[in-house]
Amino acid sequence: MLRRLLGVTPMAFIAGSAFAAMVLPAAAGMGQPSPGQMGLQLPATQVAAEINKLHDFVNIIIVAITIFVMLLMAYVMWRFRESASPTPSKTTHNTAIEVAWTVIPIAILVVIAIPSFKLLNLQYDYPKPDVTIKATAYQWYWSHEYPDHGGFSVDSVMLQDDDRQVMIKKGIAAPRNLAVDNEIVVPVNKVVHMLVTAGDVIHNWTVPSFGSKVDAVPGRVTATWFKVEKEGIFYGQCSELCGKDHAFMPIAVRVVKDNVFNEWAAALKAKDKKKAKEIIEKAALEQSGVSKVAETAAPSVR
């Protein structure tokens, strides 16, 4: 649609996209990408919010530097063209300018480094966990174990189209290449530590709206943490090229109220998979009204 509106040639599309990126508010999804999205997915954790802020801040600096260099080049080409300056200056050194073009870039890097280190500190300063989950990646699905809630584990395999239609008929959103058969569940506003490893090759546990992205390496345990501030469904994908089905091993995290999480965990601890599934479906149906509002409101939020 945007492509059709903005012009017929690729150049016009590129110019149009650049213009749109500058003037239109970013349209992003909460917990999943949205059509025509510009910018990052909407944040659901403090870490993701800080990542978005740093991204926007650095982008402003990049745009300002690019405009400055372009204007400077245009001015130099015009001011020192042959007809205006037939005998070129033989100047080779200018101490003031040389000091300026060394000191100013250093100052810009320091200005970027300060919020960047603050963000790194936030990401790696793990608060005390309320829930710990161990994620193991396999070719090509995820297994999540809850060691402090009875040690049960949940295997998540991507839903095929037929199975997605069954969910959609029930009124539960099941986006293509993102929906899985068994979602993992975490409580809202609780600190979750995600320990990540792999059983075969290197994968990567990523949920953009949480600001979480960590490699899953066989024989090693890496970690990330998140405290999700909103209920709903949050999707991510394996982000380390791992083989032919790399694009088809999504991660689906259902964020629910504390009591719903406890019921779900108790059901799985008692090996009652049917009841656990019913609890998730009930939560999904309750949340679907909420997520519809979030979807339509998304373009104007950022």
Contacting residues toward Cu ion, per CB under 5 A: 203, 238, 242
Helix (H) or strand (E) run with residue 246 in it: none
Structure tokens at 298: 């998304």
State which residue, 184 or 238, has the beta carbon closest to Cu ion: 238
Q: What is the smallest separation between the CB atom of 132 and Cu ion, expressed in angstroms?
A: 22
- Other Cβ atoms within 10 Å of 185 Cβ, number: 26
What distance in Å separates the CA atoms of residue 280 and residue 172, rounded to the nearest whole number? 10
Closest CA to 207 of 198, 218, 217, 186: 186
101 upstream amide cis, omega within 30 of 0: no
Closest CA to 249 of 132, 123, 144: 144
DSSP-derived 3-state class of residue 33: coil
State which residue, 134 or 203, has the beta carbon closest to Cu ion: 203
State which residue, 219 or 289, has the beta carbon closest to Cu ion: 219
State which residue, 216 or 228, has the beta carbon closest to Cu ion: 216
User: In sequence order, what DSSP letters do the residues of 172-218 get, joined into one string?
Assistant: ----TTT-BSS-EEEETTSEEEEEEEESSS-EEEEEGGGTEEEEE-B
State which residue, 203 or 230, has the beta carbon closest to Cu ion: 203
Q: What is the smallest separation between the CB atom of 30 and Cu ion, expressed in angstroms?
A: 24
State which residue, 237 or 291, has the beta carbon closest to Cu ion: 237
Query: For 5, what's the count of Cα atoms within 13 Å in the CB-facing half-sphere?
Result: 6
Structure tokens at 61: 């600096």
State which residue, 45 or 204, has the beta carbon closest to Cu ion: 204
State which residue, 142 or 261, has the beta carbon closest to Cu ion: 142
Q: What is the smallest separation between the CB atom of 268 and Cu ion, expressed in angstroms?
A: 24
Q: What is the smallest separation between the CB atom of 140 and Cu ion, expressed in angstroms?
A: 6
Q: What is the smallest separation between the CB atom of 208 and Cu ion, expressed in angstroms?
A: 16
Q: What is the smallest separation between the CB atom of 159 and Cu ion, expressed in angstroms?
A: 17
Q: What CA–CA distances, in Å, run from 139 to 156, 191, 212, 213, 232?
A: 12, 28, 21, 18, 27
Residue indicated by tokens 């009930």: 282
Q: What is the smallest separation between the CB atom of 115 and Cu ion, expressed in angstroms?
A: 31
Q: Please name the residues in contact with 4: beta carbons below 8 A apart, sequence gap of 6 or more.
A: none
Q: What is the smallest separation between the CB atom of 289 and Cu ion, expressed in angstroms?
A: 33
